[in-house]
Each structure stands twice: as structure tokens, then as C-alpha cells.
Structure 1
Amino acid sequence: MDPERRQTLKGAAFSLAGLVTPPEQWWEGSLSATVTRPATTGRPVGAEDVAGVREMTQLLSQREQRRGGADGRAALVAYLRTDVAAYLEGRFSHADVRRDMFTAAGELAYLAGWTSFDASEHVLAQKWFDLALQISAEADDAPLAGHILRAKAHQTLDLGHPAQALQLAEASLAHRRYRQACHRERALLGVVHARALACAGRRQQALTALLSAEDDLRRAEPADGEPARVFFFSEASLAHETARTLQALGDLHGAERQFVRSVRTRRAQPFARTHSVTLGLLGAVQIQRGAVDAACATWTQALDAMEGVQSGRARDTVVQMRRALSPYRARGGAALALLDDRARAVISRVR
């Protein structure tokens, strides 16, 4: 439960070799090890302890959506190292409690990976995601494993490795990982798969996957017993990922429409980090198609939304913004100069 203290991570690079998904026999082997594991002599662990871990995970997940992954991550990791590690070594009142605790711990380890990814700590993210996968296998929680593999695919796409990302996205949908997931989670897995297909140059398959993801989200109902980890995935989230897929396919007008749809349908304040990233990407599409004034207006909104946000991904959109504006600086103008000054200030502030 403590990959961040390993000295080997210092100076390490994101590993493509580490993106290989384990064979299906590995998942079954992990489950067998769980069944035959001897009882431990640790602290008693009951259903209330599981509820406590889930409550903390939801609190930290909501904070990450509002403030970004770099804010509060140390507290998350400390909780994993201490309380959650002790729970996993405890004496469980029932086999179901043990399974539920491992699922709860896997979700929190996933969140440690996601916040690391959002903070641009990509090696740490990779380590946490791998640990979360191990825990999900021991819990025999196939949908959670799919959720984590989807996150690994998302990270790998952002880092520019489409072939490896597509393998991860396909693994997230394989076997019970998609079949046992709720409709909302299926939509999340499906839309990231669509983006991976688009980045790999498989246009028709990407468009088909988008339609499938839309159908899954249309069927989603909170009454279906959805896991709390999918609370953030809504029409706005689907539109954001659809826009990124269309952008990868070269459909800039379609991407712009979907980014605008995402901005209009999202509750901005609780999802400030995601909202600022969406606005940053929308501005990039607008300037890519030559709409400089529209891009500048959108980026102004993005900088407003980043107030108080600590996110490496949000910061990256500002870096890209300044790069895209570079050819237009010679035109001068007070509005552009002000935007550029604000962007520099955000880059220096955001971790």
C-alpha cells in the first residue's frame, strides 16, 4: 500500500512495458489466493469500517473534481498507508465484509492513481493503478478492474501512446469487466474505448463505439445500484470524451459542438477542475479551425474556472494555449496581452 516510498521511483520514467495487461489466468489465480488465504490476527473489521472507507473515498473524489488532483493527495495517501492498510490486515467478521473492504480499498488506491495522473505524476499514477488492479482482483470485482484499466488507457492516450492505450481500453471491456458493470460505467468504458480507436486511426469502429456508449448512458439509472465511483460521469462527461474522439478523427466542428455541449450541461462549481480542462480544450479546437477571437474568449473563461484548482492537466491546457497563441502575439492588442499575462500567472501558480 505504499508505492510512493520506493526509492526506485526517483527519476523513473513512464513505462510502456508496464502497460501489458495480465492474462485472464492471473485474475483467477488472485481469486484462488483469496479463498485459501489463512485468517490473520489483526484488528476486527466489520461493515461499518467498510462504510467509513467508502465515505472517505467519496469525500476525496468530490474534492478532486472541484480542486484538482494535486490538492489533498497527501492526505489521501496517508489514509491509505495507515487506516486502510490496517483494515486489509484485519480479521473480518464475514467473507462478504472482506470482499467489500478490498473493493473499497481498491477504489481508494485507484483514486490515488487518478489524482497522481491529474497532478502529472505519471510514474506514481502507473504504480497506484497497478496496485489498485491487484486489490480489485483479490476482491473479485471485475467492474472495478475495468474502471481502473479504463483510467490507464486514458492516461496512456494523453501521453501519446495510442496502440498501448487501445489494448488497455479493449481489456477494460473484456469478459465480466463490461458484462457485470452498471450502464453508467459501461458508457464510461465505451467512450474511452472510442477515443482509443480514433487515435489508432480506426474511424468507423470509433463512431460505432460512441453510439454504443450513448446507448449505455441513456439506460443508466441510479436505482440500478451504481457504485459511487461513477458519480461524476454524466451527459457532460460523455460529451467531453466524444469531443476528444471527434477531434482525433479530424472533425473539428463536431468536436467543438460536443465541447460546447459539455460546458453547457455540466454543473461548473462542483466539477471546476474538469470544467476548466474542457474549456481549455474547446479553445484549442477553436483556434485550430482559425476562430482566434472565440478561442480567446473561451480561454478567458477557462482561466476564470481554474481559480483555486491545482491540476497538472489543467495547467497543460494553459501551456498549450500560450503555444497556440504564439503566432498571433505579433498582432499586439491589449486583450491578447492580458490573456497571455494571466496564462503565465496560472502556470506559475498551478502545481
Structure 2
Amino acid sequence: MERRNFLAATSTAIAAGPLLQLLAATPAPAAPAVVRPADVEQIHSAATTLRSWDNLYGGAGVVRDTALAQLRWAAALLNSRCPAPLRGDLFSAVSRLATVVGASAFDAFAHEDAQRLFAFATACSEEVDNWPLRAISYNLRSRQAIWRGDPDTGLTLAELGLARADRLSPAERSMLHNARARALAKMGRTQPTLAAIGASDDSFASIVPAAEGPWMAYYDSAQHHGDTGHALFDLALAGHPPQEALRRLQTAVDSHGDGFARSRAFSRTKLATLQMAASDPEQALAEGLSALAEVSDLRSLRANHELAELGRVAHRHRSLADVRDLREQIAAAVAL
């Protein structure tokens, strides 16, 4: 596809509706007339830095505004003259940055913007046959659909991401099997969920970190246990034995470093919620208070939503004064 036609085809994905206004209102320097290797490297560096900020601070604050400015400049490069040897790198870098910006929008509950950005990221990756980055975009599209209450679409998107799985790394395959597991768990399909988690575990066991792309640097033992623990969490709330979910979530909490504060807060909140549901309010209180402190340091509407769920589940132990106090603190925190 000619670049002119590609941009025409994808401009509605990136520019339609409120997102156009956001990008137009965000100042960014004019794109150069000719793309250089340094420009592509700048986009990759921006994606790496913004992703680390998103994990550390959440996507609902200054991270998202900064990300939008970077994306506007990067997307404009697609209109610049690009030497043929750089074309694949350019589209791949823009795809990677679009997933990062989309993830920040998702975290800020700007769902329509996130959906457009993820679709734009997919289009960029497919334009240059970058299967790993295509998988990244489909993983995020799947997770957003699941979050929005449409696990059936989430499952379809995860399985689309796994198309030509032979071209994906073990970490990329494991990541997408986790998305499948989370969709299946939301649909109440216990055995397929467990099978998807088993497939993820098998792929994870085959990972050679040095052979993975930089976009998968985040996918370590903590992330794997957190993602699979989240799927098992939904099964446990539906009556499946909770022990394995508790173990995996605890491993994630214990293993996440400070650079992944939001991921740790997600897993800790899920852990406390499941402990409350499993009638272990004393342990849940300790984890819940820690989760409350971690979420309070973030600008993440998703983290607030998870915290509110903990408050709702804790209602069953409202006869305990400490639980009532925790619920009051949660209510005050998520209202801010």
C-alpha cells in the first residue's frame, strides 16, 4: 500500500472525534522533511520513557499529555520523506509509541481514544509486517475489550494476535495466552481458562530474556504471575478454589519492583479482595491498607476502580471496625 493511501486509510482511526481535538491542541514541533535514523531512535526512546512513567505514576496525569505531544510529532513523520531502509523501523516505532499512548488513555478511561490508538498501532505494524508489535497491539485491544465488559470480543482479539504464533517470541505468546485466559475467565469457562494459563506457563518457561525485543522487557515473573493470577481471581470469585490465585498474586506482589508500582498495586488489590472474599479479613486488611497507600500515589482510574471493588467485597465483613475504617478510607481515596 502506498504511504499516501495508508495514511488516508488510518487517519480516521487516529484523528476522528475527540482524539483529533486532543492531538491538534497539543503543541509539538514540526516534523522534519526527511526522516533520519536519529528520529526513529527518538520515537523508541520516547516510548520506553513514557511506558516507564505510565507504570510508575499511572496514565491519568501528566504522562498522558506528554505522550500525546510525542505521538503527534511521531505520526507526522509518516508524511515525511523516508529512505526505504528506514521505512520498516519508522512504522514499527510509531506503532510502539501508539500502544504506549493508547495504554495511558486506557488507564485514564479515555476509552474511545485508546481504541483508536490501538487500532492505529495495529495498522502501522501490519503495514510493515511487524508481527511482534502487531501482537502487542492486539493484546491491549483484547484487555480493553475485557475491561469494558465484552470478553467475547476480547477473546477474538487475543486469538487474532496469536495468528502466526510461530513468528512470535515465547514472551509474546505467553502474554496473549494470558489475554485469552482473562477473557475466558470472565465468560465463566473454567477448563478453557485453565488450559490457556497452562499454555501461557509453557511459553513463559521457554523465555530467553536476551532474545526478547525491548517491548517485552516488562514481561518478567512478576508480570506473568500477576496476569495469570488475575484470570484465576475471576474463577475464584465464581467458586473455583482460590489457593492458586492467591499464590500467584502473592508472587506478583512480592516480585514487582518499584518501577512497576501500578502493576504491583493491581495485584495487591486483587490479592486483598480475594482474601476478603475467602473469609480471611485480617490478612486482607493488611494487604488492603498497603494497596490503598500504593494506589493513592498513582493517577490511575483503573487502579481506583480495583480499589473500589475491594471496598465492595469488604462490605461482607462490615461488622469489624477495622474493615469499616478501610472501606471509609477507600471511599475517600477513589472520590478524589
TM-score normalized with structure 2 length: 0.86
For the residues of structure 1 that align with 2:91 and 2:218, how far apart are their CA atoms?
22
For the residues of structure 1 that align with 2:102 and 2:111, how far apart are their CA atoms?
9
Q: Does 1:266 align with 2:256?
A: yes
Overall identity of the aligned pairs, in %: 28
Aligned residues: 311
The alpha carbon displacement at 1:222 in A equals: 2.8
Q: 58-67 vs 151-160, which deviates more?
A: 151-160
For the residues of structure 2 that align with 1:230 and 1:220, how far apart are their CA atoms?
11
Is the 2:46–2:70 Cα contact (8 Å) retained in structure 1? no
Q: Does 1:73 align with 2:64?
A: yes
Q: 133-142 vs 53-62, which deviates more?
A: 133-142
For the residues of structure 2 that align with 1:253 and 1:336, how far apart are their CA atoms?
23
AA of the residue aligned to 2:252: S
The alpha carbon displacement at 1:9 in A equals: 7.3
Give structure 2 stretches of 5+ with no counterpart: 1-10, 21-30
AA of the residue aligned to 1:78: A
Please point out which of 323, 328, 341 is paired with 2:317: 328
Aligned match of 2:204: 217
Q: 1:96 to 1:179 in 2, by over 3 A?
A: farther
For the residues of structure 1 that align with 2:272 and 2:201, how far apart are their CA atoms?
25
Aligned match of 2:8: none
For the residues of structure 2 that align with 1:96 and 1:193, how far apart are their CA atoms?
36
Q: Does 1:167 align with 2:143?
A: no
TM-score normalized with structure 1 length: 0.82
Give structure 1 stretches of 5+ with no counterpart: 11-40
For the residues of structure 2 that align with 1:88 and 1:276, how far apart are their CA atoms?
37
What's the CA shift string for 1:30-76, capped at 9, x where partnerless?
xxxxxxxxxxx961112111111101110000011110111310110
The alpha carbon displacement at 1:100 in A equals: 0.5
What's the CA shift string for 1:124-159, capped at 9, x where partnerless?
211111111111111221221121111111111222
Is the 1:284–1:295 Cα contact (8 Å) retained in structure 2? yes
Aligned match of 1:242: 228
Q: Does 1:135 align with 2:124?
A: yes
The secondary structure found in structure 1 opposite 2:109 is coil
What's the CA shift string for 1:166-211, capped at 9, x where partnerless?
1111111112xx2212221121112222222333344333222222
The alpha carbon displacement at 1:276 in A equals: 0.8
The secondary structure found in structure 2 opposite 1:91 is coil
For the residues of structure 1 that align with 2:256 and 2:65, how far apart are their CA atoms?
28
Runs of 4 or more, structure 1, over 6 Å off, are: 1-5
Larger RCO: 1 or 2 (CA < 8 Å, sep 6+)? 1
The secondary structure found in structure 1 opposite 2:139 is helix
Give me the CA root mean square deviation.
2.2
Aligned match of 1:45: 35
Please point out which of 189, 194, 215 is paired with 1:207: 194
For the residues of structure 2 that align with 1:300 and 1:246, how far apart are their CA atoms?
23
